[in-house]
Structure 1
């Protein structure tokens, strides 16, 4: 699923694909914000880590899980 994160005072969004469920992403973000963590840490679908400063978080748009791709994918 696609995750888009808006960061304050930055014109471009942080956009990446993740294998996490929408509930997992929501939980990670809520936990980081409620605990006063300096960073929000999320995993992309390639095994990479995306770090966003919690204080600069503008918004998070969590896409729905993909139903399947059309075309010649290697999945």
Structure 2
């Protein structure tokens, strides 16, 4: 699934592909916002993205990514 994270005072958004479910990401985001801590997500390549919760402007949850090749 593609996740886009907007960060305050940053011109570009963070984009990552993750195997997490939307419900899991929402739970992690809610926990980070209530604790005032950080949102930590891992992408499909094993890299981690860590964003301070108080700097998150928005989180956009996309559908599962699939790359279509060829013609129909």
Q: What is the TM-score with the length of structure 2 in the denominator?
A: 0.86
After the TM superposition, which residues 52-71 of structure 1 pair with which residues of structure 2 at under 5 Å, given as runs?
Answer: 52-66=51-65, 68-71=66-69
Shift of 1:16: 0.8
Structure 1 position 26 matched with structure 2 position 26: yes
Displaced runs of 4 or more, over 6 A: none
Q: Partner residue of 1:40?
A: 39
Cα contact 2:36–2:54 (8 A) shared by 1: no
Q: Partner residue of 1:50?
A: 49
Q: RMSD between aligned alpha carbons?
A: 1.5
Shift of 1:70: 2.2
Q: Kindly tell me the number of residue pairs found equivalent between the two proteins.
A: 70
Give per-residue Cα distances to partners, 1:6-59, cap 9 Å, x unaligned. Answer: 00010000001001011111111111111221x110111111110011111100
* Structure 2 unaligned residues grouped into runs of 5+: none
* Structure 1 unaligned residues grouped into runs of 5+: none
Q: What is the TM-score with the length of structure 1 in the denominator?
A: 0.83
